[in-house]
Structure 1
Amino acid sequence: MGGRGGLALRAYACGWTMKEGEGLRHRRLQQPQVVSDESRDAETKRVSAYSGKVFRITLTTLVVTLVVPLLLAALLLQSPINPQPFSYKEPPLLIGPLEANLKLREAERLYEGQLIGPESIALLGDVIFTGTADGQILKISDGKIHTLARIGKLPCGTWEDEPTCGRPLGIRLGPNGTLFVADAYYGLFEVNPVTGEVKMLVSAQKVIQGKRMAFVNDLSITQDGRKIYFTDSSSKWQRRDNKYLVMEGTADGRLMEYDTVTQQVEVLMDDLRLANGVQLSPAEDYVLVSETTMARIRRYHISGLRKGGHDIFFDNLPGLPDNIRPSSSGGYWVGIAALRPNPGFSVLDFLAPRPWLKNLILKLVSQEMTMKFVPKYGLVLELNEDGSVRRSFHDPHGVVVPSVSEASEHNGYLYLGSYYFPSLCRLNINEV
């Protein structure tokens, strides 16, 4: 018994020792591993490799979805324009009389939503005459809007309709109270301000020195009513394609003179880049014309020692000039259709010497879309008779006045037109 007991005791002791050993082995396997620098580096490399793969896939996707279509468009699509390279001087700083202010925000909107694109304005007493984007010549009296005349025919309102609908632009009162109207598609007309009777003076179909008029724009009349000075902005582009005209930089605009007695038309200046607003001097010894694409105002001498000569009246304007009208100070009001900001980025200045970029842009977007890149900014300049800036009225960001095609002074007020905005604006210039 003692022998068997001793054997059992040894076996028991041995079994206990084995189980204990197994438990120890299990506990050693459950102990946490020590993280070394080598394992950290491996994990970092694995994450970095994954991130790099994601970046490469993302970049490839962007190239395929964005760059490839651009290259295909550049190679396969045809640009609607044949742009000419040119350049501007650095835009003038908005300092001194050009210093930015909020004066145009004091303007009140008139007949908002009741008329679209009152480009030009003529005033007779309390009666307002204007032409609108739907082809109408309107007479506004006692707060009521009447259709005085329509040169074209319905329908109106679309890009396709505009050539047949007509687009009255420059409008003036003659010495006898008669209205004179420049219609972009039809030509020069005389309109009875009472009856609305329309008389054609110069047809846009008339070929003048080998060119037909495609874009009749503005006019100015001598005090005796005999001569009318008017512009044809282009013989290639119509008014509805005016953005193409600016982007292309086409130099085929003209300043012309119509003699109401002889009924003859004479070209005074040609090769202008978008000939636009016209204004006779108070002494009628010269006529000013806006060369819109070049951001300047040209002058043609019609009498005196310099008769027949021309020069630059104002160069490097802070924006693209539209119509010019007389001011009570003896100078001129100039509406600015689009700003060339300084300080700031001017898309007009940037694109001017880069015809390849203009081509690419207009292969990809419509001409209307290009206006999204031009900031809204209301600006009117008053120039002295020597061409210096007397003062300026601003509306940064176009809060009240987004753009100005014309500023017409009448009885202490400045009436502001726009080629697209759905209202007239009026500013009391004695209070700003």
Structure 2
Amino acid sequence: MKTSCSLLVVNLIVWFLLLGSGVFSSDYKTFNKLVLPPTATNPRSAAFDRAGEGPYVTVADGRILKWKGPATGFVDFAYTSPNRTKKFCDGTDDLDLGPICGRPVALSFNYKTSDIYITDAFFGLLVVGFNGGLATQLSGGYKYLSGIDVESFTGNVYMTDASLTYDIRNLAQSGFKPDSTGRLLKYDPRTQRVTILLSGLAGVGGPTVSSDRKYVLVPEYVTKKIQRYWLQGPTKDTNDIFMTVFGSPNNVKRAVNDGEFWVAVENQGQGLRVNGSAMILQTVPLTEFFDASVDVVQETNDALYVGSSHTDFVGVYTN
């Protein structure tokens, strides 16, 4: 009897620990699709403006689209290449046409100015105003600029450079292996200078700045770790390991609650909500993405918006 009681206590403790760690989640069980226009694919981003409109998404043929509601759907909003024509580029997913059509990968709003900052795999860092249209290049010459996050208080732009040796076209090649030459960069709009904050990153994903602006989180797909680079405090300009993820973290985004984040785990098809102490608060199985990569999980308006480089829709999970 004593042994049975002891086992019961242990099992209850384990159960509560699992619940507390967010292993189980009864939220976000309802799934809907925001379907892209015909032939448009690979919505790798999902961002919202300061009025809550969107999502704005980047797609494979060089466009940035904006969701205008179920009656209208997605409409053209912006594009990154000055050489792009709708007749030649709309609907293509041929990366060899990227130097002509562009391939915007990620975007982030400066909520003070309503400007959208964009990373493009061929055209580097760009910005476009709230009216959209052709984006202006701010910084180029990269092999594969990928993730981005704007810290609206200072206007600083934090972005990731996937590699010094390969570009986005290499990813689909047989036998491709990512290297460890990824970097975390900062663009200062006041000086228009780019500085290197971290280097030697392996399979670096999309960064995000903490809500208190003390640090930047940077996921590494290959090592399955999330680095933390300190912006303030006694450890300023140093980095440490924030957490190790069971799976490959692709992008990190701020959650609605201050001090919390959503991590898109690509090969597990999950969204992890974590706090500033790297504790997993919630695990959401993204069951409709088990056969596709999960590029981003963005929390807005009591919903999770999921972008993927292998779909023709943005997934929306609600309660």
2:66 aligned with 1:139, yes or no?
yes
2:147 aligned with 1:218, yes or no?
yes
Cα shift at 1:140: 1.9
Contact 2:79 2:134 in 1 (8 A): no
TM-score (normalised: structure 1): 0.62
2:301 aligned with 1:411, yes or no?
yes
- Consecutive aligned runs of 4 or more in structure 1 exceeding 4 Å deviation: 100-105, 243-247
After TM superposition, list the pairs within 5 Å mapping 1:67-146 onto structure 2.
97=21, 99=23, 106-111=30-35, 114=38, 115-124=40-49, 125-143=52-70, 144=72, 145-146=74-75
Alignment partner, residue 201 of structure 1: 138
After TM superposition, list the pairs within 5 Å mapping 1:10-409 onto structure 2.
97=21, 99=23, 106-111=30-35, 114=38, 115-124=40-49, 125-143=52-70, 144=72, 145-152=74-81, 153=84, 154-155=88-89, 156-174=92-110, 175-203=112-140, 205=141, 213-242=142-171, 248-315=177-244, 317-330=245-258, 331-339=260-268, 378-396=269-287, 398=289, 402-409=292-299
Match of 1:338, as an amino acid? N
Give distance in 2, aligned partners of 1:198 and 1:402: 29
Give distance in 2, aligned partners of 1:102 and 1:160: 43
- 1:294 is paired with a residue whose SS is coil
Contact 1:101 1:395 in 2 (8 A): no
- 1:269 is paired with a residue whose SS is strand
Match of 1:106, as an amino acid? T
Give distance in 1, aligned partners of 2:266 and 2:172: 12
Contact 1:231 1:275 in 2 (8 A): yes
Distance 1:304 1:186, change over 3 A: same
Give distance in 1, aligned partners of 2:106 and 2:67: 17
1:137-195, Cα deviation, whole Å (9 max, x unpaired)? 11221333221222133443214223432211111111211111111111111112214
Cα shift at 1:105: 5.6
Contact 1:285 1:301 in 2 (8 A): yes
| Greater strand content | 2
Deviates more, 1:301-310 or 1:145-154: 145-154
Contact 1:103 1:395 in 2 (8 A): no
Return 5+ residue gaps in structure 1 as ranges: 1-94, 206-212, 340-377
- 1:390 is paired with a residue whose SS is strand
- 1:261 is paired with a residue whose SS is coil
Alignment partner, residue 20 of structure 1: none
Identity %: 24
Cα shift at 1:321: 0.9
- 2:171 is paired with a residue whose SS is helix
CA RMSD of aligned residues (A): 2.3
Kindly tell me the number of residue pairs found equivalent between the two proteins: 287
- 1:160 is paired with a residue whose SS is helix
Return 5+ residue gaps in structure 2 as ranges: 1-17
Give distance in 1, aligned partners of 2:154 and 2:45: 19
Contact 1:245 1:274 in 2 (8 A): no
Q: Radius of gyration: which is bigger? A: 1
Give distance in 2, aligned partners of 1:326 and 1:287: 11
Match of 1:327, as an amino acid? A
Cα shift at 1:395: 3.8
Give distance in 2, aligned partners of 1:279 and 1:304: 18
Contact 2:185 2:195 in 1 (8 A): yes
Deviates more, 1:108-117 or 1:188-197: 108-117
Distance 1:228 1:245, change over 3 A: farther
